[in-house]
A = this chain, B = another copy of it.
Amino acid sequence: MNIGFIGLGVMGRPMALRLIDAGHQLTGCVNVSDIDPDLLAAGLRVKEHPAAVAARSEIVITMLPDTPAVERVLLGPDGVLAGIHGGSLIIDMSSISPEATRRFAHRAFEAGCEYLDAPVSGGEAGAEQGSLSIMIGGDDASVQRALPLFEVLGRNIVHVGDIGSGQTCKIANQIVVGLTIEAVAEALVFAARAGADPARVREALLGGFAASKVLETHGERMLQRNFEPGFRSDLHRKDLNLALDAARTLGIALPNTASTLQLFNALAAEPDGGSLDHSALVKVLESLASTRLDG
């Protein structure tokens, strides 16, 4: 199938490679990403702007860092909607605002196109291995049309609901992951400061109701001081900002999301703090306790 793929960064690059390996003809775009030589060697075609990519694609996938980038690529001059044929399908796999998503989808529908929001979780490793979780908003027919592509990219593929529901689900995911990282950090720093060995505490907690992927993975990172991303803390900060923006629009209170975002802000205030893995949030809790997990 002719697929446009716009946003060939840390996540988009391995996803595009998997789609090429699965036999699809992919077209990328020079004015959005630097194009990796591996992609060109694999057969990626390159056009000068998103409109030209869209003009030769039945399906256009976007995988971009934030809401303004998606807006520019879809609605800007020489954007996707300026070149796309009626009947094409746009799949936005970026993690962006659910509200803006509904606006972009509306514009796509006006152009006679289909639209899905399908953000992912699972990180670079998941993108490489095709084991991403994919959270989808949109109508059934479009989901069926996209399913063969999703199956190349991910394993836990859930159609959550209408347009925007994929983004809402991704925000819910980031709330749980961020607040669980904060919880594990508070607990391990507390235990260390109270004189217990945080590694043994982690081990004991893995056996009961405190068990989580985060305690397993990020807890281990905190103990090993391994803060190479993984997932950059400033991307998590962006996601919690999306949560609080949506909460303000909805008129609801998310108290621990709000306080956890403040702690991510404090991490961002440290030199290079924003480029560390999100498990580095433990450094902020350590500074609030004048202690370190590694003694």
A89 within 8 A of B: no
Chain B residues, CB < 8 A from A291: 252
Chain B residues, CB < 8 A from A10: none
Q: In the assembly, what is the distance between CA of A254 and CA of B194, in Å?
A: 13
User: Taking A208-B121, A256-B183 as contacts, is the C-beta distance between A190 and B213 under 8 angstroms?
Assistant: no
- Report A56 CB to chain B, min CB distance, Å: 33
Interface size class of A (residues with CB under 8 A): 35 or more
Chain B residues, CB < 8 A from A289: 250, 252-253
Q: Is the pair A256, B259 in contact by a Cβ cutoff of 8 Å?
A: yes
Q: Is the pair B187, A205 in contact by a Cβ cutoff of 8 Å?
A: no
Q: Is the pair A204, B169 in contact by a Cβ cutoff of 8 Å?
A: yes
Chain B residues, CB < 8 A from A159: 200
Interface residues of A in 145-180 (CB under 8 A from B): 155-156, 158-162, 164-165, 168-169, 171-173, 175-180
A74 within 8 A of B: no
Chain B residues, CB < 8 A from A168: 190-191, 194-196, 201
A249-265 interface mask toward B, CB cutoff 8 Å, 1 = contact, 0 = none? Answer: 01111111101100100
- Report A106 CB to chain B, min CB distance, Å: 15
